[in-house]
Structure 1
Amino acid sequence: MPGTAFPGLTPQSAPAASRRILEATQQRLGFLPSAMARLAVSPHTLEAFTRMSAAFEAATLDVLARETVILTVATRNRCHVCVAMHTRKLRALDADEELIEALREARPLHDERLEAVRVFTMEVLDRAGEVDTGSLDALVVHGYTLEQALEVVLGIGAYTLSTLANRLTGAPVDAELEPYA
């Protein structure tokens, strides 16, 4: 934890360039996550994360594949905020509890398609993108496209930014997320 504390800003106390994003986040979620409130210290970083995550949400990967990428990055980077937030999202989607627990524990998944996404995500992270052809082929064999392989990289980028920023700023798990921590 850094010696200098990052403040939890509000739409009223944040730099002008961060206010719109904080207001929209608060309206969409019903609360302002501490992670976003601290990220607002840097309007450019806050905007980059929101744009990247919105692009990832609009990608052709299905929602469970996207959440597999996110939780794989979050558990690897030990970001308790992202783990809680995306556990909440998966439960809201009525995802299988075994899937959720396996992702939270970084265990192999029973769903072979999602396991291909999880393994590919880890390969991209562990090998800095220089995956062997077998990993990419395994993704394609399970019905994913080359476009979607690059979308996995987009998700990794967005959530590497988020997880590292959350750890740097010391963002705590919000009360609204405690049941999912």
Structure 2
Amino acid sequence: MPAPAFPDHTLESAPGAARRPMEAVVNKQGHLPAAVGRLATSPQLLDGFLKISAIFESTTLDPLSREVLIMTIATRNDCHVCVAMHTAKLTALGADADLIAALRTERPLPAERPEAVRQFTLAVIATAGAVDDAALQDFLAHGYTPQNALEVVLGIGAYTMSTLANRMTGAPVDPQLAEFAPAPM
């Protein structure tokens, strides 16, 4: 059950300012995810997250690298909704099952380039952005660019926002993602 402060808004019950972003999600996904319904309690947060995540999707980081970053944040922040959603996205991308399993359990990845993204993401978080030259050079040595380094910061911001909000609202995993949900603890 949602906390009374975070109802499962529908398009009809949501604050007016949240309806257009919610409609866009429904049009894109074919349903209204429960997390979106709960985030609609703050139309600004919902709209902001959708905009910043769309901007992140337009970066020069390749789709697998973006998903590695997102899963790194999702597991670090223990957001079961994000883990399920981005496991599904990784699966749709054709990502290796061992890579997905390693991401879900916060273990080193079996491939060097995705592991470089994971490690750099964790370094940026651990140092509040003040990564040392060795961490930056290791990231760059795997074919990434200084632009990609700043795009990592963008992704961290976007998905820190969503993981914290999803946890605060107690957003459940939608039935469409149940097969990708982490096992209950």
The TM-score bracket by the shorter chain reads over 0.9
Match of 1:18, as an amino acid? A
Task: Out of 15-24 and 49-58, give the one that drifted further.
Answer: 15-24
State the distance in 1 between where 2:127 and 2:3 align. Answer: 32
* Aligned equivalent of 2:138: 138
* TM alignment of 1:26-65, pairs within 5 A: 26-65=26-65
Give the number of equivalent residue pairs: 181
Q: Which moved more, 1:83-92 or 1:22-31?
A: 22-31
Q: C-alpha deviations, 1:97-123, integer Å up to 9, x for none?
A: 111111111111111111010000001
- The match for 2:72 is 72
**Residues 65-116 of structure 1, C-alpha deviations (whole Å, 9 max, x = no match):** 0000000000000000000000011111111111111111111111111101
CA drift at 1:4: 4.3
Please give the secondary structure, in 2, of the residue aligned with 1:69.
helix
| Residue of structure 2 in register with 1:165 after alignment | 165
Gap change, CA 1:2 and 1:173, over 3 Å in 2: closer
Aligned partner of residue 18 in structure 2, secondary structure: helix
Q: 2:2–2:8: 8 Å Cα contact kept in structure 1?
A: no
AA at the equivalent of 1:158: A
- What is the one-letter code of the residue matched to 1:26? V
Secondary structure, aligned partner of 2:122: helix
Q: Which amino acid aligns with 1:7?
A: P
CA distance in 1, matches of 2:46, 2:75: 22
Identity between Structure 1 and Structure 2 (%): 60
CA gap of 1:12–1:2, structure 2 versus 1, over 3 A, is closer
CA deviations 1:29-83 (Å, max 9, x no partner) are 1221111111011111011100110000000000000000000000000000000
Q: CA deviation at 1:5?
A: 3.7
Contact 1:84 1:178 in 2 (8 A): yes
Residue 71 of structure 1 aligns with an amino acid whose one-letter code is: M
Alpha-carbon RMSD across the aligned residues, in angstroms, is 1.4
Q: Unpaired runs of 5+ in structure 1?
A: none
Asked whether the 8 Å contact 1:2–1:168 carries over to 2, the reply is no
What residue number does 1:14 align with? Answer: 14
CA distance in 2, matches of 1:56, 1:29: 18
**Runs of 5+ in structure 2 lacking a partner?**
none
- In 2, Cα distance between equivalents of 1:48 and 1:121: 22
Q: In 2, distance between residues paired with 1:114 and 1:36?
A: 29
- TM-score, structure 2 normalization: 0.94
CA distance in 1, matches of 2:151, 2:56: 7
SS at 2:47 equivalent? helix
d(CA) in 1 for partners of 2:176, 2:148: 32
Q: Could you tell me how far 1:3 is from its partner in structure 2? A: 6.0
